[in-house]
Structure 1
Amino acid sequence: MINVTLFIIACVLLIILPGPDTAIVTKNTVVGGRNGGFQTMIGSCIGLAIHTIAAVAGLSAIIVKSAVAFTLLKYVGAAYLCYLGVRTLMNMRAKKMDLEEEPIETMKGNSYFKQGFITNVTNPKVAVFFLTFLPQFLAPNSEPFWSFLVMGIIYSVLTFLWFTFYVFLLDKIRNFMKRPATQAVIESLTGVVLIGFGLKLALEKSNG
């Protein structure tokens, strides 16, 4: 691998950019506390691990080159993001009607994990990212299998560390973020952002 330091810096910059994973982790940390945030983060990281394995095995190349596979996965991911966005907006509306009701808080623990996992693993842009970003750091005449594997692990670990810090930070200011007015703004923005990411994903064109 060429220039490990440069690769790590590039990964960090890409990881901290807000995306669907960040939106889901933010929402579930605010409504479910540290536990909800960590379960969502673990789901996202396992999704990344699957994308890493797929890239190493060459499956991601099939998804990227196959218009049918790309489109199918794209619409599944887009529909799920839009579903989460609409559900977030509906939950916010329900809270306005009954301030004592907190429907998201009663969500089963593994639902946080599933939201993080499905959001990540059904995003074909992650597969595209792995196949376009990682090869730039391959050394000439190097073995792609082990290089991709190491880079994928590094990216997943950095993602885990960033979201660990992010969840702890959100949990520290959760009391402020749990105020009705603050939470209404956060959930409104999160719902709109998730729907926006879903629509953007749905309009994403296949490279095949």
Structure 2
Amino acid sequence: MSNFLLFAFMCICLIILPGPDTAITTKNTLSFGKQGGFQTLFGTCCALCVHTFAVIVGLSAIIVKSAILFSIIKYAGAIYLIYLGIKTLLSIKQDMNSDMSEIKSSKGHSFFLQGFLTNLLNPKVAVFFLTFLPQFLNPAENSWSQFLIMGITYIVLTAIWFILYITLIQRINVFMKKPKTQKFIQGITGAVLVGFAIKLAFEKAAFK
């Protein structure tokens, strides 16, 4: 591939932009600590692996060019984000002094799934992989191997950024764990997730 350093720099700029992945990671880290954050991140990275595989074998191109497939994934993602957003807003009514270990044991298994589905059901990620990655292809080299390298690079940079992000949240967790602050953040996060869902619902494919 060509201009690898430029590609890595552009990836970093795109990764740090807030999106559904950031919102769900923030929510789970604030509510359940590093365990929630890292499991969510693992789910996100696994979904990015699927997107990488999809662009290598050409599935992303099929999805983006098919209005039906694009719409199905788009609306499924929007519905899931609305579900998470409403669930977060409703959680504000729960007792803030409830046993956290009990909450973790009952919901811990869903952190990975939340991160995985939030990213996987976002067709904008498929569009990004299909439109951004080819700009750095070297015509003289094998395309699938270049896509693989770029996909792995993006996943690694995503993991590094969110590890730093989760660690930062944990360092200011004393303030964040104040009941009023928790309720405020949960309210904002829930509203943001619903907002992302509405935006996603009106998203159009780059190609038809």
- Range class of TM-score, shorter chain: over 0.9
Counterpart residue number, 2:160: 161
Structure 2 residue aligned with 1:121: 120
Give 1:166 deviation, angstroms.
Answer: 0.8
- Distance of 2:150 and 2:39 partners within structure 1: 24
Deviation by residue 1:50-77 (Cα, 9 ceiling, x = unmatched): 0000000110001000111100011100
Structure 2: how far apart are the matches of 1:84 and 1:202? 15
After TM superposition, list the pairs within 5 Å mapping 1:56-67 onto structure 2.
56-67=56-67
Percent identity over the alignment? 55
Contact 1:31 1:105 in 2 (8 A): no
Task: Name the amino acid aligned to 1:181.
Answer: K
Please report how far the alpha carbon of residue 145 of structure 1 lies from its aligned counterpart in structure 2 after TM superposition. Answer: 0.6
Equivalent position of 2:177 in the other structure: 178
Q: Cα offset for 1:108? A: 2.2
Cα distance, 1:48 vs structure 2? 0.4
**Hey, what's the Cα distance between the residues in 2 that align with 1:102 and 1:71?**
41
Report the CA distance between 1:113 and its aligned residue. Answer: 0.6
For residue 57 of structure 1, what is the amino acid of its counterpart? V
The alignment covers a number of residue pairs equal to: 205
**Contact (CA 8 Å) 1:64, 1:127: kept in 2 or not?**
yes
For 1:105, the equivalent position in structure 2 comes to 103
2:20 matched to 1:13? Answer: no
Which amino acid letter does the alignment assign opposite residue 129 of structure 1? F
Contiguous gaps of at least 5 residues in structure 2:
none
- State how far apart, in whole Å, the 1-side matches of 2:15 and 2:99 are: 31
1: CA distance, partners of 2:195 / 2:53: 28
Pairwise CA distance, 1:110: 1.6
The residue type paired with residue 32 of structure 1 is F
Which residue identity lines up with residue 174 of structure 1 in the other structure?
N
Secondary structure of the 2:5 match is helix
Distance 2:64 2:141 in 1: 23
1:52 corresponds to: 52
What TM-score, normalized by structure 1, do the two folds share?
0.94
Aligned position for 1:198? 197
Aligned-residue RMSD, C-alpha: 1.4
Instruction: Give deviations 1:137-188, integer Å, cap 9, x for gaps.
Output: 1123332111111000000010011111111111111121111121122111
Report how far residue 101 of structure 1 moved: 3.6
SS of equivalent to 1:105:
helix
TM-score by length of 2: 0.94
In 1, Cα distance between equivalents of 2:140 and 2:68: 33
Runs of 4 or more, structure 1, over 6 Å off, are none
Distance 2:19 2:96 in 1: 30
Cα distance in 2 for partners of 1:70, 1:119 equals 15
Aligned residue number for residue 36 of structure 1 = 36
Distance 1:88 1:67 in 2: 31
User: What residue is the counterpart of 1:76 in the other structure?
Assistant: 76
Of residues 104-113 and 168-177 in structure 1, the stretch that sits farther from structure 2 once superposed is 104-113
Q: CA deviation at 1:102?
A: 6.5
CA-CA distance at 1:99 after TM superposition = 3.9
Q: Which runs of no fewer than 5 residues in structure 1 stay unpaired?
A: none
